[in-house]
Amino acid sequence: MLEGKIALVTGAGRGIGRETALTLARYGADVAVNYSGSREGAQNTAAEIQAMGRRALVVHADVTKEADCTAMFHEVEDALGKIDILVNNAGITRDSLAVRMSEEAFDAVLDTNLKGTFFCMKLAAASMIKKRSGRIISVSSISGVRGNAGQMNYCAAKAGVIGMTKCLARELAARGVTVNAVAPGYIDTDMTAALPERAKQEILSQIPLKRMGSARDVAEAIAFLASDGAGYITGQTLLVDGGMGI
């Protein structure tokens, strides 16, 4: 499905990013595996991709820094030749009720989830416009669609990702580039592992499919949006949430 394509996945050392990188490779893509912080997870992801017979490049960039993102795009294009698929996955949470939320926590979440996505979208757009093809897929969240108590910063960022997706989809439609988002619900990763048991049960009771999602559930939706089969879909946000957002 993705034979001959080159993908760049941000935050691919663990969780949804890691599973997305592996899934894109399983469908035939070569993958640049971005990380910030520890390199080990990204190296493991890359090793698994190489074991499938695909090319993999481990590339450092803190997506909150535009210079890092610019250097990352150059490094990937120099090493792998082009970028056909960008997956903006890197994200963090800093939850607290709005009345207690610090400016620092607000800025940190906006910087990573929103501004980091903006930098990478901008760089991918510039590169994909030249070859008149490409797929940009960003990981938003159900929280950005319907809001969530204790996540004012995260909801603002993830709603912003949906807004940027619609904007860029319109800007790039005539250039053969599609721009979409996925909005995962409650997915079993390190991000949700620390939730107290009572909160987990409360969330589970709101999911019609009665289970947490897996990183693979999200990765398969991303792979579909990256595929030729999704060529007539742009500006959309696909909820991967077990029906939570119905």
Annotated catalytic sites, by residue? 154
Of 163 and 176, which has the nearer Cβ to ligand NAD? Answer: 163
Examine residue 203 and tell whether it contacts ligand NAD (CB under 6 A).
no
Residues paired with 138 in a beta bridge: 88, 181
- Taking CB under 6 A as the binding criterion, the range among 24-32, 83-91, 99-107, 202-210 that sits at the site for ligand NAD is 83-91
Of 20 and 231, which has the nearer Cβ to ligand NAD? Answer: 20
Choice from 104, 190, 197, 228 touching ligand NAD (CB under 6 A): 190
DSSP per-residue letters across the chain: --TT-EEEETTTTSHHHHHHHHHHHHTT-EEEEEESS-SHHHHHHHHHHHHTT--EEEEE--TT-HHHHHHHHHHHHHHHS--SEEEE-------B-GGG--HHHHHHHIIIIIIHHHHHHHHHHHHHHHHT-EEEEEE--HHHHH--TTBHHHHHHHHHHHHHHHHHHHHHGGGTEEEEEEEE-SB-SHHHHTS-HHHHHHHHTT-TT-S-B-HHHHHHHHHHHHSGGGTT--S-EEEESTTTT-
Examine residue 37 and tell whether it contacts ligand NAD (CB under 6 A).
yes
Of 87 and 169, which has the nearer Cβ to ligand NAD? Answer: 87
Examine residue 160 and tell whether it contacts ligand NAD (CB under 6 A).
no
Of 175 and 206, which has the nearer Cβ to ligand NAD? Answer: 206
Examine residue 64 and tell whether it contacts ligand NAD (CB under 6 A).
yes
Examine residue 134 and tell whether it contacts ligand NAD (CB under 6 A).
no
CA distances from 140 to 78, 95, 129 (A): 29, 16, 23
Examine residue 234 and tell whether it contacts ligand NAD (CB under 6 A).
no
Q: Is 245 exposed, middle or buried (0-12, 13-18, 19+ CB in 10 A)?
A: middle
Examine residue 72 and tell whether it contacts ligand NAD (CB under 6 A).
no
Reference 188, options 199, 200, 173; nearest CA is 200
Examine residue 206 and tell whether it contacts ligand NAD (CB under 6 A).
no
Of 23 and 112, which has the nearer Cβ to ligand NAD? Answer: 112
Examine residue 14 and tell whether it contacts ligand NAD (CB under 6 A).
yes
Give the x/- contact pattern for ligand NAD in 136-155, rule: CB under 6 A.
Answer: ---x-x--------------
Choice from 184, 219, 222, 238 touching ligand NAD (CB under 6 A): 184
Examine residue 192 and tell whether it contacts ligand NAD (CB under 6 A).
yes
Residues that bind ligand NAD (CB under 6 A): 10-11, 13-17, 34, 36-37, 62-64, 89-92, 112, 116, 139, 141, 184, 186-187, 189-192
